[in-house]
A and B are shown apart, each in its own frame.
Chain A
Amino acid sequence: MRIEDVLQYAFKSLTRQGFRSIMLVLSLALGVASTTVLVSLGESARSFILGEFAHLGSDVLAVYPGRKTTTGAMPPITGNAARDITLQDAAILERTVPGIAAIAPLVVGTGSISQANRERNTLVLGVNEAFFDIRRLTLARGALWHDIAIEQSAPVAVIGETLADELFAGGQVLGQWLRVRGFRFRVVGVLEGTGDSFGSDLSDALFIPVASAQQLFNSPGLFRLIVQVDDRYDRQLMIRRIEQRMQALHQGEIDVTVVSPDAMVASISDILQMMTLAVAGIAAISLVVAGVLVMNLTLISVQQRTAEIGLLKAIGASALQVRWLFVAESLILAIAGCVVGLLITAAALWAGRLFLPQLSWQLPAWALVSVVVITIVTALLFTWRPASKAAGLSPTVALGRA
């Protein structure tokens, strides 16, 4: 039997089932569409969030105090370290480890900032000049503090634009004095834009020299070190070098964790991908349900067409040919379901791009291929038994001649 004849024969049976076939194609199509649209949504969200992280740069490493003893991918955000990373460590690293382009020690805290009769509780970051370079922050007005050694404190501050508006309400900012926890700082610069970093709004932050922040918060240790790596050096190599140097500085104990934000982003990306897969998996259940409907249709079809099956066998159809006639029917249904479903997906993605243009609304090829494969395999799997039943019918029984 020729393939085109098998398909045509099956197609004629389906058109005779008219309404039932259309309903089945629709249920398969909805399964295909919901799965692909959800994958697209998940993937779009993932690339959106990854895009938000892009400003971290791939040439940056972070050094945290403390050592994660487990193999978990996420680094400890707040180090409960036995030993702090000190400014001295930072200075030694920068001097002695080749391949470090810049190093930014970071102290983080919150404080109540007052100016005249205005007061505001906000983020206080102890940083050096390199920090602004590494994070690609630029000043709208004024200038950074210059010529202040890393261990040296100074009563100067850079503030975010939002904070400037809040405290000075459009008045003169540069050269004005602020008060934080009893210390006084003179504003020398205002940060440009509302640089929205993941989790914190830097436009609402106060930046002071790191040594001043240590005095302010009375903490000898650093929150973390941000290291910019010369891009001619391998990052894994740099991670090992920094760890080894810190080990030497800390009496032979490895008590810091060096991560590249890439690794962090990769783990977040992994988590989002898992969620996408989980949601797609739930949607794929609808495909299995459609598969059960296909089985039901085939069973009914075999029952209604018993005499026809007997006739086909009497005039010389083999069991395999009879099986193929029924399998071809669900194959056609599955392919039609995929085509209609993907058309619905295309329409949904188009609408998505129209109303939510922030997301990419792309459908990854793996999702497209696997949804089509799953649909077709499910349909075939669920037809196999009823088709086998038809193939195994005795012609005399089927023709009512036994």
Chain B
Amino acid sequence: MISLKKLSREFQVGDSPVLALRNIDLTIEAGEYVSIMGPSGSGKSTLLNMLGLIDRPSDGEYFLKGEETSVLSESDRAALRRAHIGFVFQAYHLVPRLTARENIELPLMLDGVSRAERSSRADTVMQQLNLSDRAHHLPNQLSGGQRQRVAIGRSIIMHPSLLLADEPTGNLDSRSGQEVTALLETLNAAGLTLIVVTHDNHLGQRATRQLSMLDGEIAHDTLRDIDLNAH
């Protein structure tokens, strides 16, 4: 489903170029549960940006469902994001003046879906996420866990094939964190490809495939405690 070939990303910091990603080769199959771990500045967020099509590589190729994405126009990439990719961020990024339900409906609204259909699809998702009684609450009236569940609802309302989560539990207490983790894993079990970026070893090690990054490279690619990179 995902195939990165010699993918690099260079940033200009002051006068000197910094390589955030170096020649990454990576293949991820549909339905996988992948965690990306590594110290700050190792390139894990940049890699997630790449996978989510919100950043372009300086070099190399990215095939998503067989399509080379790095040559597509911005609007084509936006359409791909809308159709295939869900994002969950550490800071939730809910629109503060929209209710929980309206936040969940947002991608449908951008897609031009009718109000009636939006509403019925949002109902289904809110039931699934146990948010039905919070439909008309504004984000600042919700707890952290509830906000993240709303954000997850927004990320899956379009039935994406790929869910990208960046520190999804980073702002949550441990109980809410566990709930959110369980929720993401349920979605993965139902067939959604899940990629989680995290500092948290405990969370990271729950994934069936674990990538460790260092200095813009994938240092380890481990399948459930089985090291694929024979060192």
- List chain A positions with a Cβ less than 8 A from chain B: 1-2, 5, 9, 12-13, 15-16, 307-308, 310-321, 394-396, 399, 401-402
Contacts and interface: CB of A to CB of B under 8 A. Distances in A.
B72 interface: no
9 contacts: A1-B111, A1-B112, A311-B93, A313-B78, A314-B87, A316-B80, A316-B82, A316-B111, A395-B54
A315 B154 CA distance: 9
Contact of A308 (B11, B45, B95): B95
Contacts of B52: 314
A253 to B, nearest CB: 77
A251 to B, nearest CB: 82
Contacts of B83: 316
A394 B75 CA distance: 13
B107 interface: yes
B29 interface: no
B89 interface: yes
Contacts of A308: 93, 95
A251 B99 CA distance: 93
A316 B79 contact: yes
Contacts, number: 81
Nearest to B79: A316
Closest 8 CB pairs of A and B: A316-B82, A395-B54, A311-B93, A316-B81, A318-B78, A318-B75, A16-B97, A5-B109
Given A16-B97, A318-B74, A402-B11, A313 B112 contact: no
Contact of B81 (A5, A15, A315, A401): A315
Chain B's interface size range is 35 or more
A399 B82 contact: no
B79 A401 contact: no
Give the dominant DSSP class at B's interface.
mixed
Given A316-B111, A396-B55, A311 B95 contact: yes
Contacts of A307: 91, 93
Interface of B: 11, 45, 49, 52, 54-55, 74-75, 78-83, 85-87, 89, 91, 93, 95-98, 106-107, 109-112, 114, 154-155, 158, 166
A317 B78 contact: yes
A313 B83 CA distance: 13
A273 to B, nearest CB: 48
A315 B74 contact: no
A12 B102 CA distance: 12
B109 A9 contact: yes
A125 B191 CA distance: 107
B45 A316 contact: no
Given A12-B98, A315-B155, A319-B78, 20 more contacts: A1-B109, A1-B111, A2-B112, A5-B112, A16-B97, A307-B93, A314-B54, A315-B82, A315-B86, A315-B87, A316-B85, A316-B107, A316-B111, A316-B158, A318-B74, A396-B49, A396-B55, A401-B45, A401-B49, A401-B166
A396 B74 contact: no
A395 B154 CA distance: 17
